[in-house]
Structure 1
Amino acid sequence: MANLARQLRHEQRKQQQTIAPKAPKKKIQQKRWLSPGEKILGITFGALVCFGSIHIISNQSSIYELNKDIQDTQALIQEQQKSNSDLSIQISELSQYDRIKEKARKLGLELNNQNVKVVQD
């Protein structure tokens, strides 16, 4: 009998479990790490950072090129100034009075003091 009583209790429990309304399962909503708006903002921010870094690198490259051109031009200017100063020294050496007088004598010219006119600036 004990076995029969156990079976009845077991069947009653099964019926109660099947008859009893089951509690509706709650949907577990997974909390998303980023919302779609945050994703769009993040992508936009990343694109702006990339654009800005490319722009900065481009500007630095152009500045470097300009500085290089300026230095090349300054080197050329210094060379030309040196050449000009050398030519000025050569002019002053070639325009000395004694040298001009010697060249004139070699060419057969003679100094006539009566024909000399003094010009003042």
Structure 2
Amino acid sequence: MAAQPVRKFDYSRVQTQIPQKKQVVVHKRRWVTRGEKFLYTLFITGALGLSIYITSFSSSLDSINRNIQTIENEISNQQIENRVLEAKVNELKQPSRILAIAKENGLTIKNSNVKQASPVQ
């Protein structure tokens, strides 16, 4: 083989591939996802609704208890008044009292056996 002269390398012919920079879209990762937001909103709404329900139930229960106490007080006052009236009735229907009133009004007793009538049961 014959010796060939060394050629100079022509760099202009070689196409160098310079990597071109691509713009990469970076998605910022959110702290809370949409699903989590929905669940948090649902939970907070439920907790708020439950607290409102409990408050209104407690309020109505308190109102009912006050009404019950008022009615119980009225009942006890009425029972006391009934006992007082029963005592007055027993006092007024004593035979000695009836005889005294009869004598004051000019009535005479023919038979001295005065009996108290008892109610029919």
TM norm structure 1: 0.73
- Say how many residue pairs are matched: 104
Q: Where does structure 1 lack aligned partners over 5 or more consecutive residues?
A: 1-15
Q: Equivalent residue for 1:101?
A: 99
Please say if 1:56 is aligned against 2:46: no
Q: Indicate the structure with greater helix content.
A: 1
What displacement does 1:109 show?
1.5
Q: 1:67 to 1:53 in 2, by over 3 A?
A: same
Gaps of 5+ in 2: 1-15
Distance change in 2, residues 1:22/1:58 (3 Å)? same
Question: With CA pairs under 8 Å and 6+ residues apart, which has the higher RCO, 1 or 2?
Answer: 2
Equivalent pairs: percent with the same residue? 33
Q: In the TM superposition, what is the alpha-carbon distance from 1:84 to its structure 2 partner?
A: 0.7
Aligned partner of 2:34 in structure 1 is: 36
CA-based RMSD: 2.6
- How far apart, in 2, do the equivalents of 1:117 and 1:95 lie? 11
With normalisation by structure 2, the TM-score equals 0.73
Q: How big is each residue's C-alpha offset from its partner over 1:43-95, in whole Å with a ceiling of 9 and x where there is no partner?
A: 11111111110010000000011111111111111111111111111111111
Moved over 4 A (4+): 114-121
Q: Do the aligned residues in 1 keep the contact of 2:95 with 2:115 (CA within 8 Å)?
A: no
**In 1, distance between residues paired with 2:32 and 2:75?**
62
